[in-house]
Structures are given as C-alpha cells and as structure tokens.
C-alpha cells in the first residue's frame, strides 16, 4: 500500500489508541491454547509500533492488560507478564534506534515486582526520545482513573489548594493518568467486537472509532494503514456543521 496519502500530515491522527482483541479466538481457530494467540499477538504489536513511527503518529496507546484481566486463569496472567518482560528486553534497542519513548498508564503497582522493575527501566532509558510515544495501558481501568482523579480533586479542595468553582474539564484532565497525553483522535478495536471495554472513557469523547473483524494476531501494518486511511476520509465537526468547516478552510 502506498504511504503517500497516509503521510498527509494535516489528516494524520496525532494519537491512535488500540484495543487489541482476538488472541484467544485466533488460537482456538488453530486448535491451540490461548497463550499461543498472545505470543503471536506480540508480532502484531511490533508491526503496528513500527508502522505508527514510520508514518509520523506521535502517540500510540495499546490496551495491553485491563484491571478486569486479573480475573483470568493464573497461568495466562503469568504468561502475559512474561511476554511483557520479553517484549521490553527484545525491543529496547529498536525503541532507542527509532527514537521511541515508552510510557505506561494504569495501576502499575499491582503488577509483579519484576515487571515493575523492567517498566521503570524502560521508561527511564527512553525518556529523552522525541519520536513516537508508545503507551501501554497495564492493569488499567478508565472508571478507576476517573474515580482516582475525583478523589485527588476532593483532597485538594479539602486542603484549600482548589475551590469547587475552579473545577473545569481542563482542571479535571490534569488529575488523570493521561494528563500529559493528548486525547486520541482514532480508536481501533480488532476482532469484530463493538464496545470500548472501560478504555479511556473520558479521553475518547470525540474520538473516531474504527472496528475491524480482523483478529489481533492478523492485524499487521497493512491493516493499520487501512484504519488510518479510513480516518482520513472522515469529517470531524466537533458539533459544528459541514458548512462552517468549509468556511473556515476558505
């Protein structure tokens, strides 16, 4: 696929978020256990990260492990944690070579100590990189993030550091884990499911949604480009009319 249209900077989403779904079903279709799907899903992660960096996307957030995922079988959780460590070990050189910064959102303190240590090292090592920012949502819950922000705001009001009239959308944003990350313009979900599953609920108020039947291990660079091209065809009005947008362009 030609990247000429995709490289139209004016229509390129600055931030793309992805709900990576379908690993288990992909493995089941092949008579394999769910872990086999997760292992192959890592290849798709690498392809999409490279594709995003290549075309100039500035932020890529991947829904890697939700807070609800702690309810999965212990063996599957252990495998996912091991795959995360393996990914960071194997891809650190690639992240550095491609000027990619690594960040996480979510309740990182709930992860195993060895995972926390690896994450902390990756964040520090890539902190000066200025290209794509790769964000993994780990032990993440959008509802919990909103609740935590509310608690912090209430605490600051009690301490006299903030007043109720001062609480605006802009102020609320500053208490979220995504404080320094722009809201995503495009949210992709794979595997044919049509829901957002407690992911970036505050941040996706005006995000374009893209759903595909493709299972995550089959979601490669070409599939990512398709989603970007679909986004570029859309008219983003933010409450305005098409005529108002046309006048602004003129």
The confidence score (pLDDT) of residue 47 equals 97
DSSP bridge partners of 60:
16, 134
Per DSSP, 79 falls in state H
The token pair that represents 14 in the structure block: 């600055």
Cβ burial, residue 183 (10 Å; 0-12/13-18/19+): middle
- List Cα–Cα distances, 167 to 162, 172, 173, in angstroms: 8, 7, 10
Q: Are 36 and 215 in contact (CB under 8 A)?
A: no
pTM for this model (two decimals) = 0.92
* 21 catalytic residue (yes or no): yes
Task: Note the pLDDT tens digit of each residue in 1-46.
Answer: 555 566 667 789 999 999 999 999 999 999 999 999 999 999 999 9
- CA 225/CA 132 separation, integer angstroms: 16
Task: Note the pLDDT tens digit of each residue in 151-186.
Answer: 999 999 999 999 999 999 999 999 999 999 999 999
* 69 catalytic residue (yes or no): yes
Over 60: is that where the pLDDT of 250 sits?
Answer: no
Over 60: is that where the pLDDT of 50 sits?
Answer: yes
The residue from 8, 50, 69, 173 that is catalytic is 69
Sequence ranges of the domains in the chain: 10-141+183-237
CATH hierarchy code of domain 10-141+183-237: 3.40.1180.10
Task: Note the pLDDT tens digit of each residue in 189-243.
Answer: 999 999 999 999 999 999 999 999 999 999 999 999 999 999 999 987 656 655 6
């Amino acid at each position: 696929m030609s990247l000429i249209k995709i490289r139209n900077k004016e229509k390129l989403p600055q931030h793309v978020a992805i709900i990576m779904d379908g690993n288990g079903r992909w493995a089941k279709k092949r008579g394999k256990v769910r872990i086999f799907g997760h292992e192959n899903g890592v290849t798709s992660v690498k392809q999409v990260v490279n594709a995003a960096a290549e075309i100039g996307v500035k932020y890529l957030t991947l829904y890697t492990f939700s807070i609800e995922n702690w309810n999965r079988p212990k063996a599957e959780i252990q495998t996912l944690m091991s795959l995360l460590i393996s990914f960071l070990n194997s891809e650190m050189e690639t992240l550095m070579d491609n000027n990619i910064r690594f960040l996480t959102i979510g309740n990182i303190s709930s992860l195993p100590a060895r995972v926390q240590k690896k994450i902390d090292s990756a964040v520090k090592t890539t902190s000066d990189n200025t290209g794509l920012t790769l964000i993994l949502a780990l032990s993440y819950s959008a509802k919990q993030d909103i609740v935590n922000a509310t608690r912090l705001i209430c605490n600051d009001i009690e301490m006299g550091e903030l007043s109720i009239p001062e609480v605006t959308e802009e102020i609320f944003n500053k208490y979220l884990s995504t404080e320094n990350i722009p809201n995503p313009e495009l949210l992709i979900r794979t595997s044919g499911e049509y829901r957002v599953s407690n992911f970036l609920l505050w941040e996706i108020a005006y995000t374009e949604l893209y759903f595909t039947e493709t299972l995550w291990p089959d979601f490669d660079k070409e599939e990512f480009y398709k989603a970007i091209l679909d986004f570029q065809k859309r008219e983003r009005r933010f409450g305005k009319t098409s005529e108002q947008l046309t006048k602004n362009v003129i």
